[in-house]
């Protein structure tokens, strides 16, 4: 079978070697490939593996032999699902490989920001020491209110760390979860996002990206947040109106942000519309690597291979995502 894997910068040696050893032809394509180039490459493709590269209607239409699209990761917002389904192409993702992993990174980013670890570290590098001045004054997590937007498995893991782990009060917004299910995770359900944001000291985003959630955190939402609030986003950049976020940070309407994801990736410090973030010591930037640990990558490669084999062998494809589009 002819197999294409996009985003070759993400190294998956076990997956690649396994597919080749099974006798399949595997071609790796780089991040940033144009739609036109990808359409040409998939002309004889039967199985397409992708992570970030957009798989548009045009790409799917250029692959008459395509049997399946496997997202080796969680979010499927870069795939034109209706176009794939209209062609009888299976679409599957790997939603459970990094639930704890991403939550751990989100919580680590929160700790770095709350304790002002980054600016204090920078001061140590410059001056070799830092005295207890007001500019280095951090905060406790215990006794504060953590707000979680998107209370699936990653959000539930974040709630466990913040609540039982650090004795914070945890509230959450997720129209897809019942009050009872959220309570079992230690989360007090809120039905109004803006009202919830107004009571939070920390907000962590773990929602899926779809037309309903795009820019769900925007100008109005920032206006309701506390000036001392910190926003963490390890989900999808476009959940946030990033222009509004930049304004909120510059005008000190929120205290800081930890960002692992951006609507336009990769981020850069020259001509990206968010390049001003690099100069802010109350902003922690991470290059979409919250998922990237040895253990999580092992799980990702193993499960991606299983989904590939199901499509190759014509077996029913196991779908674990709660996203209704799958």
Residue 181 CA to residue 322 CA, distance in Å, equals 15
* Parallel/antiparallel/unpaired status of strands 256-259 and 188-189: unpaired
| Whether residue 57 lies in the annotated active site | no
Residue 135 CA to residue 236 CA, distance in Å, equals 31
In which residue are the tokens 């037309």 written?
211
Is residue 226 helix, strand or coil? Answer: coil
Alpha-carbon distances, residue 274 vs 62, 244, 288 (angstroms): 34, 11, 15
Residue 201 CA to residue 298 CA, distance in Å, equals 35
Residue 280 CA to residue 119 CA, distance in Å, equals 10
Residue 228 CA to residue 162 CA, distance in Å, equals 18
Q: Which of 206, 236, 301, 303 is catalytic?
A: 236
Q: Which of 35, 58, 188, 265 is catalytic?
A: 265
Residue 230 CA to residue 202 CA, distance in Å, equals 5
| Whether residue 126 lies in the annotated active site | no
Q: What is the DSSP letter of 322?
A: -
Q: Angle, to 10 degrees, between the axis of helix 99-114 and the axis of helix 117-127?
A: 60
Q: What is the DSSP letter of 264?
A: S
- CA-nearest of 61, 15, 49, 8 to 30 is 8
Cα R_g (the chain), whole angstroms: 21
| Whether residue 301 lies in the annotated active site | no
- Strands across the sheet with 145-149, in order? 188-189, 169-173, 145-149, 202-205, 230-233, 256-259, 283-285
Quote the tokens at residue 240. 């946030």
Q: Which of 160, 206, 288, 307 is catalytic?
A: 288
Is residue 71 helix, strand or coil? Answer: strand
Give the residue numbers marked as catalytic.
236, 265, 288
């Amino acid at each position: 079978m002819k197999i294409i894997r996009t985003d070759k910068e993400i190294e998956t040696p076990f997956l690649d070697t396994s597919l080749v050893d099974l006798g399949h032809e595997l071609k790796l394509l780089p991040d940033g490939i144009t739609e036109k180039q990808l359409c040409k490459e998939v002309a004889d493709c039967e199985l397409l593996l992708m992570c970030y590269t957009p798989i548009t209607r045009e790409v799917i239409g250029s692959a008459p032999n395509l049997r399946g699209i496997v997202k080796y990761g969680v979010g499927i917002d870069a795939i034109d699902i209706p176009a794939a389904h209209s062609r009888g192409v299976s679409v599957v993702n790997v939603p459970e490989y990094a639930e704890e992993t991403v939550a751990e990174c989100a919580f680590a980013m929160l700790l770095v920001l709350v304790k002002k670890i980054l600016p204090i570290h920078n001061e140590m590098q410059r001056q070799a020491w830092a005295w207890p001045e007001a500019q280095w004054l951090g905060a406790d997590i215990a006794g504060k209110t953590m707000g979680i937007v998107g209370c699936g498995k990653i959000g539930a893991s974040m709630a466990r760390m913040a609540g039982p782990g650090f004795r914070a009060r945890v509230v959450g917004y997720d129209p897809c979860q019942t009050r009872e299910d959220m309570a079992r995770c230690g989360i007090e359900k809120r039905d109004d996002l803006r009202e919830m944001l107004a009571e939070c000291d920390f907000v962590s985003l773990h929602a899926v990206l779809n037309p309903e959630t795009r820019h769900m955190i925007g100008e109005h939402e920032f206006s309701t947040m506390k000036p001392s609030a910190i926003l963490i986003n390890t989900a999808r950049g476009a959940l946030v109106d990033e222009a509004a976020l930049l304004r909120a940070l510059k005008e000190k309407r929120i205290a800081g942000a930890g960002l692992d994801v951006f609507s336009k990736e990769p981020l850069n410090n020259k001509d990206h519309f968010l390049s001003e973030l690099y100069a802010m010591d109350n902003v922690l930037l991470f290059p979409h690597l919250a998922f990237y640990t040895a253990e999580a990558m092992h799980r990702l490669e193993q499960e991606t291979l299983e989904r590939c084999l199901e499509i190759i062998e014509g077996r029913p494809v196991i779908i674990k995502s709660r996203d209704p589009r799958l």
